[in-house]
């Protein structure tokens, strides 16, 4: 008996191809392009929704290309490599439009046709990541998780990682000292320091390191090209390290230099962060994101700014170059330390950074009757449910929302519009080529 075939109608949130079975139930299929006819292997089956992966492409799209990575389809990372880059951009736009048109707020539905700007492409489609995290599974395979699995696909290089990272990985994996450490590892992160082009290795260890472990770590630092610092971290012990040569002790932090961005900034700014802290992995596209955010903020010397989820100052520092004052708030202590250090080193006297949970901080600011001309918010993937009323009170003129998840963006924008904001700009960016992820900058104004 032949397998049933499905016609892919469109792509939806998550990068799935949408189809329907003979009973009208929705089927979401991975690894497809609109217009294709495919068979599918089902992986989830519910009463009204089924999920699957493409088993056989019966009628391929003219856009379909061979994936450049030999592990594509096994590794759980990339999911758009079967399309050329212009096709990826177009489909991401259509996914975002679809979410907006399905939103409960009528202004959002109109925005899909009237406000949504063309997606800003990444200058690099491959080798753009300055950080990768690898897992070590129970069989001691080092790599990325398979889709829907804790088992790993072993890798020796990654097409999304910077060349320095791949070179380090190829030296690291066969090294005898690494083999002695691997049975006690849960995973590891390789981080490129953009300003120095040197590498930091953060090893996630299952137990507190012993003298023999430290000996192996030090040997790796001595013998691997470009690797200058190693840290060990685990659930049951504090960060161990840095393990490095004495002359490298100033390299335990990472940094990139943001170039001048006229008319917003007139000088370069150094943005540094601690190992284990957060910085956008696509640094060239991060510069585009910063510039887009500055364009939306339109900050002046007479205006105050509130930066929520400020991190190490990715937006706070360049905005402080023009603002009267900047208050940055973040829940992570290391990020606040970095933000303060970065601002001090830039000689900025108009910034303040506080460590607080964001919802708690907004409640406190409302009680203090604080107001800010502009508010910038860059939340994690879950967004900021239930915060719209506080943001409306705190913001005098403009709110700029930077989103890494278009579904939670639509939910939060709907709540903000219900409070009385007006949406004036929607600018998507492609921060993660070869994947379905979409970054969006939204400008809302009080009228």
Mind telling me the catalytic residues? 404
The secondary structure of 126-159 as a DSSP string is SS-BSEEEEEE-TT--EEEEBTT-SSEEE-S--T
Dist CA 391 CA 250 (whole Å): 40
SS3 18: strand
Dist CA 375 CA 263 (whole Å): 20
24: left (phi over 0), alpha (psi -120 to 50) or beta: left
Triad 42, 45, 47: Cα angle to 5°: 145
Radius of gyration of the chain (CA): 23
Asked if residue 426 lies in contact with residue 319, where contact means CB atoms within 8 angstroms, the answer is no
Q: In terms of DSSP bridges, do strands 26-30 and 49-59 run parallel, antiparallel, or are they unpaired?
A: parallel
The secondary structure of 362-386 as a DSSP string is HHHHHHTT--EEEEEE---TT--TT
Dist CA 293 CA 284 (whole Å): 15
User: Residues, the chain, total?
Assistant: 447
Contacts of 245 (CB under 8 A, 6+ apart): 221, 222, 228
Q: Is the sign of the CA dihedral 112, 117, 118, 124 positive or negative?
A: negative
For 357-374, b where at least 16 C-beta lie within 10 A, e where not — what string? Answer: ebeebbeebeeeeeebbb
Q: What is the strand order of the sheet 16-20 is part of?
A: 6-7, 37-45, 49-59, 26-30, 16-20, 10-12
Taking the alpha carbons at both ends of the chain, their separation in whole angstroms is 63
Q: What is the strand order of the sheet 237-243 is part of?
A: 152-154, 142-145, 131-136, 185-193, 198-205, 227-234, 237-243
Find where tokens 């917003």 sit: 264
């Amino acid at each position: 008996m032949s397998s049933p075939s499905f016609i892919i109608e469109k792509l939806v949130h998550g990068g799935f191809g949408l189809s329907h079975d003979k009973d009208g139930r929705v089927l979401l299929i991975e690894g497809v392009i609109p217009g294709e006819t495919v068979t599918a292997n089902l992986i989830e089956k519910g009463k009204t929704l089924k999920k699957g992966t493409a088993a056989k492409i019966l009628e391929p799209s003219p856009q379909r290309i061979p994936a450049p990575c030999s592990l594509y389809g096994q590794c759980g990372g990339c999911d758009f490599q079967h399309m050329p880059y212009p096709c990826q951009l177009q489909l991401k736009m259509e996914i975002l439009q679809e979410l907006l048109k399905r939103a409960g707020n009528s202004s959002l539905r109109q925005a899909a046709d009237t406000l949504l700007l063309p997606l800003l492409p990444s200058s690099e489609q491959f080798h753009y990541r300055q950080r990768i995290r690898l897992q070590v599974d129970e069989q001691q395979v080092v790599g990325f998780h398979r889709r829907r699995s804790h088992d790993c696909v072993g890798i020796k290089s990654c097409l999304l990682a910077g060349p320095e990272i791949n070179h380090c990985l190829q030296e690291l994996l066969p090294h005898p000292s690494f083999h002695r450490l691997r049975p006690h590892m849960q995973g590891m992160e390789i981080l490129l320091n953009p300003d120095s082009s040197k590498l930091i290795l953060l090893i996630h260890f299952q137990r507190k390191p012993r003298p023999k472990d430290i000996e192996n770590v030090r040997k790796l630092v001595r013998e691997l090209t470009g690797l200058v610092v190693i840290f060990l971290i685990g659930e049951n012990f504090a960060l161990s390290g840095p393990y490095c040569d004495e002359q490298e002790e100033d390299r335990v932090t990472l940094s990139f230099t943001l170039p001048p961005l006229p008319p917003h900034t007139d000088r370069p700014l150094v943005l540094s962060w601690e190992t284990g802290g957060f910085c956008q992995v696509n640094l060239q596209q991060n510069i585009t994101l910063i510039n887009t955010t500055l364009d939306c903020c339109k900050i002046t010397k007479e205006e105050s700014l509130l930066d929520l989820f400020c991190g190490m100052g990715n937006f706070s520092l360049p905005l402080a170059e023009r603002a009267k004052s900047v208050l940055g708030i973040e829940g992570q202590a290391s990020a606040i330390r970095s933000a303060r250090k970065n601002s001090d080193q830039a000689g900025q006297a108009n910034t303040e950074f506080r460590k607080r949970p964001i919802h708690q901080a907004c409640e406190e600011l409302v009680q203090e009757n604080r107001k800010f001309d502009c508010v910038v918010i860059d939340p994690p993937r879950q967004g900021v449910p239930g915060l719209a009323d506080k943001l409306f009170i705190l913001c005098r003129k403009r709110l700029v929302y930077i989103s890494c998840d278009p579904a939670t963006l639509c939910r939060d924008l709907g709540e903000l519009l219900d409070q009385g904001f007006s949406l004036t700009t929607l600018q998507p960016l492609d921060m993660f080529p070869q994947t379905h992820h979409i970054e969006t900058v939204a400008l809302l104004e009080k009228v």
